[in-house]
Structure 1
Amino acid sequence: MELITNSNVHREYQLSKFDSQMRLAPYYGVINWYQHPIDSHRLKIAIQQIVDTVPILAGRLVKKLFSPLKVVCNPQKSGVGFIDIDLDEQEINLDNLLDAKSYVKNEFNIPKNSSDAINKDTPLLYVILNHNQNYYGVTIFINHILADGGTYFKLLEYLSQAYEDPEYVAKSEPLFTIHFNKIDDFIEASFKQLSWKDKLLSSTSFLVFILKDFFQNKNNWSYLECILTKENLNSIKEKNKNLSQEESAYSTNDALFEFLSVVPIKRFIFPCNLRYRNVGIPENYLGNAEAFVSDLTKPENNYMLKHTDVRKSINQLPGIYSFLPTFNSKYMFHNSWVKLQNYLPGFGGKLIRQKLFEFDDIPKDVLSFAVKYSQIYRYTENEYLLIYINLKNVVSQVEKKLINLGVEDIIIKTS
């Protein structure tokens, strides 16, 4: 592993309380696959330009007794970890495009959890290049204390642009603004507006969530996975084309919320990117600025989720939580990366597949942590990966809707 350090900046950044809550979150990222060559030297130059502009990316996490969590940047010492792996003649399977193997983690001692980097000489950011004669995979792998999904995909865009245009970073400064107090101010102001019941809910929900999982009957759950095309998504949206004028805004996420709503629920939850909500957080804010928004469905709709419920909650942000409020079993959590992936990084060509970056090939027991959950993210230019976890009878109803939509190759796993 090679360290790409910032050239001449020594600085300390005090992280927000909100960022500090991400200690239990893993490092995360996606692996982007191409059939055109990615030049290792050009990629390192692009990383260097970004690190010199945003030196915090090359810093180290430091926590002293009775002091807040900080990122300390030491020029010419700490840096971004760059890993170039020549797979030589090793075959890359087009179905999985070589999700990163365990040996990458073991050989380079890449941590799993974000907290593993505290008070250690461990990079907060890794860039990994996997390649053989035919395929090239570029991965940004980042500590969640420093970044959320909005940060991540913006950074991936910057790296791709810097790779393609040597003058991109100089023309685009500042790439990020770093005012970590802004998110704490917003969360504190939002918390003050909650009722005492919601405050109690927010402060104790994580403990209740863990206890519920411990005692939950996990023998009645199913996991669904399938590929949705743009045509599938357009079909889902088409059924609501006769919306009234005041309901004219109807996004892909709106359509998915309604499409996946097959049984009554009392509460729906989703992560919201606060950068675009006019709450004082800049669009190029670096740290974590995605909070869980929660709201209730309406009894007059028999508690079936409508896109207008979601649209209203997006506009009003009625309930901001640090953790999932899952006291009531009648809830649904939806996570979409679709908007975050508007820019597909080309690195001088065309992306052929973007997948979650995983170290291990060991199949995950996705039903061991039973959560009513759906996720969608862009897989290729025309394809999206949908994941849906719920009780078996609910998943069965979603499966039927997908089949009626013309979706094939639906994977179902049961507990």
Structure 2
Amino acid sequence: MELITNSNVHCEYQLSKFDSKMGIWPYYGVINWYKHQVDSHRLKIAIQQIVDSVPILGGRLVRKLFSPLKVVCNPQKSGIGFIYIDLDEQEINIDNLLDAKTYVKNEFNIPKNSSDAINKDIPLVYVILNHNQDYCGITLLINHLIADGGTYFLLLEYLSQAYEDPEYVAKYEPLFTIDFNKIDDFIAASFKKLSWQDQLLSSTSFIVFILNSLFQNKNNWSYLECILTKEKLDLIKRKNQNLPNEESAYSTNDALFEFLSVVPIKRFVFLCNLRYRNVGIPANYLGNAEAFILDITKPENNYMLKHTDVRKSVNQLPRIYSFVPTFDGKYMGHNSWVKLQNYLPGFGGKLILQKFFEFDDIPKDLLSFAVKGSLIYRLTKNEYLLIYINLKNVVSQVEKKLINLGVEEIIIKTS
């Protein structure tokens, strides 16, 4: 592994209370596959330009006794980790999108959890370039204590643009706004508006989340995975659309959330990127600015989720939590990366596949989380990967809906 350090800037940043809660999550990343070759020298120049512009990306996590968590950036000492892997004649098969692998083993001791990098000389950002004679894969991994999905995909865009245009960073500085007080100020103001019951829920939700996951009967859970085309998503939207006012805002994601809700629930939870919600957090804000939004389904609808409920909650942000509250189990969560992936990084060519990153020798056991919810993200320009986890009988109902929709390949895994 090679370190690409910031040239001459020493600085320190104190993370927000909100950011400091993200240490349990792993490093965040996707692998981007290309048919063309990516020049490693040009890529390292692009990384150098970005770490010089945003030194925090090359910093290290430091926490002293009774002190808040900081990122310390030392010039010429610490930096971004660059890993180059020549796969030689190893065959890479990405024709089956559901089985596509990353072809990277964790021989570089990249931490399992983001908090594992605290008080250690471990990069917060890694760029991995691997290739054979036919394909090239670029992975950007970033520590979740300084980044969320909004940060991640914006940084990936900047890296691709800097690779393609040597003057890009100079023309668009500053790339990020770094003011970690903004998110704490917003969360504190939102917290004051909650009832005392909701304040208690927000304060204890993480503990309940962990305990609930530990003591769940994993044998009663299933995992579903399938590919949805743009045409299938449009069909879901048309089938669910039933708005009194045709001009009302109505997204495909609203319709998908309702489509996946097949049993009565009391609460629904989704991740919202606060950067675009007019709450004082800039679009290029560095750090974590995605929060869980919780709302209640309506008894008059027999507690079945309606897309109009989702849209109202997106607009009003009624209850904001750091973690998913799962007190009684009658909830459903949904997470969409699709808007975050509006820009498909080309690195001098055309992206053919963007897949969630997993080290091939450390597979993730998603069923072990035992959390009712779904995730959708873009694989290619017109194809999306849907993951759904719930009790077996609920997953079975979702599977039937997908089959009726015309989805052919559906993978079901059980504990």
TM-score, length of structure 2 as denominator length: 0.97
1:261 aligns to what? 261
2:336 aligns to what? 336
2:40 aligns to what? 40
Shift of 1:313: 0.9
SS in structure 2 at match of 1:22:
helix
Computed over aligned residues only, the root mean square deviation of the Cα atoms, in angstroms, reads 1.3
SS in structure 2 at match of 1:407:
coil
Letter of the aligned partner of 1:403 in structure 2? I
Letter of the aligned partner of 1:228 in structure 2? L
Letter of the aligned partner of 1:78 in structure 2? S
1:325 aligns to what? 325
1-side partners of 2:111 and 2:363: how far apart?
Answer: 20
Letter of the aligned partner of 2:131 in structure 1? H
How many residues get paired? 412
Letter of the aligned partner of 2:104 in structure 1? K
Letter of the aligned partner of 2:215 in structure 1? F
Identity %: 83
2:121 aligns to what? 121
Q: 1:227 to 1:361 in 2, by over 3 A?
A: farther
SS in structure 2 at match of 1:367:
helix
Shift of 1:365: 3.5
Q: Does the CA contact (< 8 Å) of 1:129 and 1:139 recur in 2?
A: yes
1-side partners of 2:103 and 2:56: how far apart?
Answer: 26
Q: Does the CA contact (< 8 Å) of 2:377 and 2:386 recur in 1?
A: yes
Letter of the aligned partner of 1:198 in structure 2? D
1:65 aligns to what? 65
Shift of 1:219: 2.2
1:121-270 to 2 correspondence within 5 Å? 121-241=121-241, 243-245=243-245, 248-270=248-270
2:91 aligns to what? 91
2-side partners of 1:365 and 1:159: how far apart?
Answer: 30
| 1:293-314 C-alpha deviation (Å, 9 max, x unpaired) | 0000111111111111111111
SS in structure 2 at match of 1:254:
helix
Deviates more, 1:231-240 or 1:377-386: 231-240
Deviates more, 1:19-28 or 1:353-362: 353-362
Letter of the aligned partner of 2:289 in structure 1? A
Q: Does the CA contact (< 8 Å) of 1:377 and 1:386 recur in 2?
A: yes
1-side partners of 2:65 and 2:210: how far apart?
Answer: 28
Q: Does the CA contact (< 8 Å) of 1:100 and 1:358 recur in 2?
A: no
| 1:189-241 C-alpha deviation (Å, 9 max, x unpaired) | 11111111111111111212222223322222211100000010011111245
SS in structure 1 at match of 2:139:
strand
Letter of the aligned partner of 2:142 in structure 1? I
Q: Does the CA contact (< 8 Å) of 1:226 and 1:387 recur in 2?
A: yes
1:78 aligns to what? 78
Q: Does the CA contact (< 8 Å) of 1:99 and 1:361 recur in 2?
A: no
Shift of 1:361: 4.0
Shift of 1:242: 5.4
1:101 aligns to what? 104
Shift of 1:247: 5.8
| 1:104-128 C-alpha deviation (Å, 9 max, x unpaired) | x22x222121111111111100000
Q: Which runs of 5+ in 1 are unaligned?
A: none
Q: Which runs of 5+ in 2 are unaligned?
A: none
2-side partners of 1:178 and 1:362: how far apart?
Answer: 33
1-side partners of 2:104 and 2:335: how far apart?
Answer: 26
2:273 aligns to what? 273
Task: Please identify runs of 4+ aligned residues in structure 1 that moved more than 6 A.
Answer: none
